[in-house]
A = this chain, B = another copy of it.
Amino acid sequence: MKPSIKLSVDAVVFGYEEGNISVLLIKRKYAPFKGQWAIPGGFVLDDESLEDAVERELHEETGIKINYLEQLYTFGKPDRDPRGRVVSIAYFGLVHPNAFKLFAATDAEQAQWFNINALPELSFDHKEILQTAIKRLQGKITYEPIGFELLDDKFPFSDLEKLYTTLLGRGIDRRNFRKKIINLNVLDELDEKVSKGSGRPANLFQFNQKRYFQLKQEGIIFEI
């Protein structure tokens, strides 16, 4: 007896640019939900791992290569797909958006970044998936020094600060935040400055990769 349940993967990919958190969506080329926006994803091939499937689909549909990926949650309500029973394993990814040129193909008519505060209507139960992903992102950021996967190589401290306030949706104390991050020793202060608009030019920082990944592995608790 062959099962009639199909298995798919979906990927919620976040990017951050100049104070905005965006998510990568595709416009569906075929029915169901033809012409509507959706999270990139597709069916798992019989002999590929789940992670391979996510990366393959992401690359096919949007041209992107991910640099951070983790499993999010598995969605399996019997009626979530009009084509029949489809259980989807959702993943959660982070990229530097300006490191890639979006390029839609296969099932996707178009691929585009959307600000998470200005989302279009989504196909299937993708709204629920996205909300789950946003919660995960907000949760992660408070106990892991995320940011490396979202920020540029070199960045002013205010970018990190803005990433946190935007993501948490609330103000944080600039002074304590700086103290805490500096004390983590994950940042190397550079001798370069950058000036954007008015105001004092900011010093540039860079993540110390070695220390950063060491900290992540130790499962650091750092409570913003």
Give the number of copies in the complex. 2
Q: Is A191 an interface residue (CB 8 A)?
A: no
**Once the chains are docked, how many angstroms separate the CA of A46 from the CA of B86?**
10
- Secondary structure call for the A interface: loop
Binds B, one of A1-9, A121-129, A155-163, A170-178: A1-9
18 further interface pairs, Cβ-Cβ under 8 Å (given A48-B78, A223-B223): A2-B3, A2-B4, A3-B6, A3-B46, A5-B6, A5-B44, A5-B46, A7-B7, A7-B87, A44-B87, A46-B85, A47-B85, A50-B76, A71-B73, A71-B74, A74-B74, A87-B89, A221-B223
Chain B positions within 8 Å of A49 at CB level: 76-78
Q: Mark A189-204, 1 if CB is under 8 A from B, else 0.
A: 0000000000000000
Q: Please report the total number of A residues contacting B with Cβ < 8 Å.
A: 24
Q: Is the CB of A74 within 8 A of B50?
A: yes
**Once the chains are docked, how many angstroms separate the CA of A96 from the CA of B144?**
33
Q: Which A residues from 191 to 224 make CB contacts under 8 A with B? A: 221, 223
10 of the cross-chain contacts (CB-CB < 8 Å) are A2-B2, A3-B5, A3-B6, A3-B7, A5-B7, A44-B87, A49-B76, A50-B87, A71-B74, A74-B89
